[in-house]
Structure 1
Amino acid sequence: MQVIVNSLEELDKFAAKIAQKLEAGMAVCLKGDLGAGKTTLSRSLIRHIVQNQTLEITSPTFNLVHLYNAPNFKIWHFDLYRLKTAEEVYELGIEDAFNELAIIEWPEIIEEILPKNKIEIFIEFAENENSRKITVNN
């Protein structure tokens, strides 16, 4: 599936549709250039899953992982941009995360250990600065 979103509102509507399909045992792998919108999409996904549009969600760039409580499972939000080796991710609890819902920004370093039950979302800059081309593979 491929879509073009032209605003934050359209991105949020897209996130709401994807969020309905997510459940425990899945990984959402967000790929794209720096500044493409991975964290913004993560924020919308998490807010829709936990059903709280005002929940403060910060980027896990420095902490590497943040946890959120959804009604039936935990959401593990990872940002692996700063990892040097795939082995480092085990210290963050990735194995536990794969039993819940893992939303992973910059997943490329751990491709070999990602679960089969995953959705890959590629975010690219589109025609104007507010537009993004989003490709979903599952």
Structure 2
Amino acid sequence: MNILLNQRYLKRSLYLGIGYIALGFTSFFTDGSSYLAGLSGIGVLYVGQYFYSKNKILVKLQSESIEYFGFFHKKIIPVNEILSLKYFAGDYTIKAKHTTLVIDTNEIDKTAQLEMKAYFDALQSRINP
């Protein structure tokens, strides 16, 4: 099961980027300060982040492993190595033999949260019978 990023957050990033681009380009045509032109560059970064993250998988839950795709790294935790699984304040904390993984549910798409909860409930019952 593939878990995507929160689409509401991404749309907010896109709208903010479009607003910055519009504000930056309008500063080219007005007699205002020229530092506002730099906002178009910031807007391009926001729009680029949107298109990069739109279909990016954040977490891949499989029957034999949990894969977390961070911005700079990828963590793979085999299910048979999981020592504990805790849910506190909207975060799933998964501790394995060599690594610890924290999944923030605020970053996850709302439609996938129920599927993820069912997966972790089944995993919790398998770890602590």
TM range (shorter): under 0.3
- Give TM-score, length-normalised by structure 1: 0.23
Larger relative helix fraction: 2
**Which structure has the bigger radius of gyration?**
2
- Give TM-score, length-normalised by structure 2: 0.24
Query: Relative contact order (alpha carbons < 8 A, sep ≥ 6): 1 or 2 greater?
Result: 1
